[in-house]
Amino acid sequence: MTLAIDRNDPAVRAHAEAYRQAAATKRRQTLIGLVVFLACAWLAAIGSEVDLGRLFENIARFPNYIWQTLPTLHLASLGSDLAEWYWGLHRWLRLLWQTILIAYVGTVLGAVGAFVFCFAAAANLGRSAWLRFCVRRFLEFCRTVPEIVFALIFVIAFGLGPLPGVLAIAIHTMGALGKLFSEVVENIDLRPVDGITATGASWWQVVRFAVVPQVLSNFASYALLRFEINVRGASIMGFVGAGGIGQDLIEAIRKFYYTDVSAIMLLVILAVMLIDLGTERLRHALLSREQR
Q: Distance between CA atoms of 29 and 127, rounded to whole angstroms?
A: 45
Residue 213 binds other proteins, judged by CB under 8 A: no
Q: With helix as H, strand as E and coil as C, how does the chain read?
A: CCCCCCCCCHHHHHHHHHHHHHHHHHHHHHHHHHHHHHHHHHHHHHHCCCCHHHHHHHCCHHHHHHHHHCCCCCCCCHHHHHHHHCCCHHHHHHHHHHHHHHHHHHHHHHHHHHHHHHHHHCCCCCCCHHHHHHHHHHHHHHHHCCHHHHHHHHHHHHCCCHHHHHHHHHHHHHHHHHHHHHHHHHCCCCHHHHHHHHCCCCHHHHHHHHHHHHHHHHHHHHHHHHHHHHHHHHHCHHHHCCCCCHHHHHHHHHCCCHHHHHHHHHHHHHHHHHHHHHHHHHHHHHHHHHHC
Identify which of 268, 219, 244 has the alpha carbon closest to the alpha carbon of residue 95: 244
The CB-of-202 to other proteins minimum distance in angstroms stands at 18
Q: How far is the CB of 253 from other proteins (least distance, A)?
A: 5
Task: List the one residue from 17, 39, 62, 203 that touches other proteins (CB under 8 A).
Answer: 62
d(CA 24, CA 172): 47
CB 10 → other proteins: shortest distance, Å?
A: 26
Quick check: 250 binds other proteins (CB under 8 A)?
yes
Residue 245 touches other proteins, criterion: CB under 8 A: no
Beta carbon of residue 148, minimum distance to other proteins (angstroms, whole number): 5
Of residues 122 through 161, those in contact with other proteins by CB under 8 A are 140-141, 144-146, 148-149, 152-154, 156-159, 161
Output 134 or 273, the one with its CB closest to other proteins.
Answer: 273
Which of 26, 27, 54, 208: binder of other proteins (CB under 8 A)? Answer: 54
Lay out the site mask for other proteins across 270-289 (x = CB under 8 A, - = otherwise): --xx----------------
Interface stretch with other proteins, choices 81-89, 100-108, 127-135, 188-196 (CB under 8 A): 100-108
Q: Does 19 bind other proteins (CB under 8 A)?
A: no
The minimum distance between CB 55 and other proteins, in angstroms, equals 6
Choose between 103 and 122: whose C-beta lies nearer to other proteins.
103
Q: Which amino acid is at 191?
A: R
Please state whether 189 falls in left (phi above 0), alpha (psi between -120 and 50) or beta. Answer: beta
Stretch that binds other proteins, among 11-19, 61-69, 126-134, 177-185 (CB under 8 A): 61-69
Q: Is 4 in the site for other proteins (CB under 8 A)?
A: no
Determine, following the binding rule CB under 8 A, whether residue 44 of this chain makes contact with other proteins.
yes
Binding string, residues 160-179; x marks residues near other proteins by CB under 8 A: -xxxx-x-------------
List residues binding other proteins (CB under 8 A). Answer: 40-41, 43-51, 54-55, 58-59, 61-62, 65-66, 98, 101-102, 104-105, 108, 140-141, 144-146, 148-149, 152-154, 156-159, 161-164, 166, 232, 235-236, 239-240, 243, 249-250, 253-254, 265, 268-269, 272-273
